[in-house]
């Protein structure tokens, strides 16, 4: 396993991590969850990602019970939660969003569900236009001063919003966000590579990243090339949007590119999931790639992507770019 600094913080996070979105609370019980988490942990994973809204809190409950059964030392792994959507069906206005009240209560509820004394990482799951960013920064700073959170960050915030939070923290001697959790994969890359480019520099924010959906919700596994499998997440309640995307003109165009990319994977004697994950890891602005799985065998395969990075030579990357054809001309150099 490779370990990367989370931005300019002193925290070292495994380049490959594991997240509970989709599977925990929907497809897996505690013992199944522990088996999958153990497969990741045994391969060097030290970060497990979660959120209050995943299965309306059930995902955190399952992860917490699995961690208790694991017997692992608390100082050998990190857990996260994310605040915004609420952990109950039809939350009231004070049971969701980024008000100081909800940020506090969601943190302590997550700590209780995860059965831990503190959260290593705590994310604002989305920006909240109804709450001043100064209120968010102050609430997160107070939680860190209390010892209930170690690092705080954002997820799917714009570069402007992140810079505003950073500026407020510096102006009032508060703690700025350490990391952002954006979607990043072969098909969704503009924000990560362009909009955020200046935020990675240590003389600006020095932002770390915990990227999600490296397989583009399964499209980059190749499993949808010949239709939708019965056990696919697309057949789960609440994921109709994913099926609609697959059936759209854009979705069909992406599937065509996956079939072309599969020839590159075959030439490297690897699989599409490993190629897609290694492509994300190739970008050094990625602190960690959050992977997901419903089977331990999928974890084993995904984590083998770390060994593929060196095979992604300049020539291979150029061939991939030729297939994707989605690298914007106005891309900013973030080196």
Residues designated as active site:
54
Question: What token pair was written down for 8?
Answer: 């300019």
Give the Cα separation of 330 and 10 in Å (integer). Answer: 32
Report the alpha-carbon distance of residue 97 to residue 307 in Å, rounded: 40
Would you state the structure tokens that stand for residue 271, as one six-digit string? 């699989």
Given the DSSP bridges, would you call strands 119-124 and 149-154 parallel, antiparallel or unpaired?
parallel
Q: How far is residue 27's CA from residue 113's CA, in Å, rounded to a whole number?
A: 18
Residue position matching structure tokens 């309640």: 237
Q: How far apart are CA 72 and CA 126, in angstroms?
A: 31
What sign for the dihedral angle of Cα 271, 275, 276, 281?
A: positive
Classified as helix, coil or strand, 5 is strand
Phi-psi region of 7 (alpha: psi -120 to 50; beta: other; left: phi over 0): left
* Location of structure tokens 């929907």: 26
Residue 263 tokens read as 């020839």
C-alpha neighbours within 13 Å on the C-beta side of residue 222: 16
- Give CA–CA dist 318/277, Å, rounded: 17
């Amino acid at each position: 396993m490779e370990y990367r600094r989370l931005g300019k913080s002193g925290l070292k996070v495994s380049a490959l991590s594991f997240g509970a979105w989709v599977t925990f609370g929907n497809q897996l019980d505690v013992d199944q969850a522990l088996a999958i988490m153990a497969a990741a942990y045994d391969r060097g994973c030290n970060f497990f990602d979660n959120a209050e809204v995943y299965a309306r809190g059930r995902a955190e409950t399952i992860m917490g019970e699995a961690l208790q059964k694991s017997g692992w030392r608390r100082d050998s792994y990190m857990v996260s939660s994310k605040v915004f959507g609420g952990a109950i069906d039809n939350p009231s206005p004070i049971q969701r969003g980024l008000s100081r009240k909800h940020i506090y209560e969601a943190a302590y509820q997550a700590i209780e569900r995860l059965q831990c004394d503190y959260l290593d990482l705590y994310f604002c799951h989305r920006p909240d236009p109804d709450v001043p960013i100064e209120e968010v920064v102050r609430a997160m700073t107070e939680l860190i001063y209390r010892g209930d959170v170690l690092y705080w960050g954002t997820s799917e915030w714009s570069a402007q919003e992140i810079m505003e939070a950073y500026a407020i923290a510096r102006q009032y001697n508060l703690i700025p966000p350490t990391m952002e959790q954006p979607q990043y994969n072969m098909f969704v890359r503009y924000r990560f590579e362009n909009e955020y480019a200046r935020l990675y520099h240590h003389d600006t924010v020095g932002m770390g990243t915990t990227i999600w959906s490296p397989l583009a919700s399964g499209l980059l596994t190749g499993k949808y090339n010949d239709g939708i499998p019965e056990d696919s997440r697309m057949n789960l309640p609440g994921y109709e949007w994913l099926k609609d995307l697959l059936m759209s003109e854009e979705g069909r165009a992406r599937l065509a590119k996956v079939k072309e990319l599969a020839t590159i994977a075959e030439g490297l004697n690897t699989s599409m999931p490993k190629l897609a994950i290694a492509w994300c890891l190739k970008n050094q602005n990625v602190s960690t790639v959050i992977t997901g799985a419903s089977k331990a065998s999928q974890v084993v395969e995904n984590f083998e992507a770390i060994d593929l990075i060196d095979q992604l030579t300049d020539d291979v990357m150029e061939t991939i770019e030729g297939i994707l054809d989605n690298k914007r001309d106005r891309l900013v150099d973030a080196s």
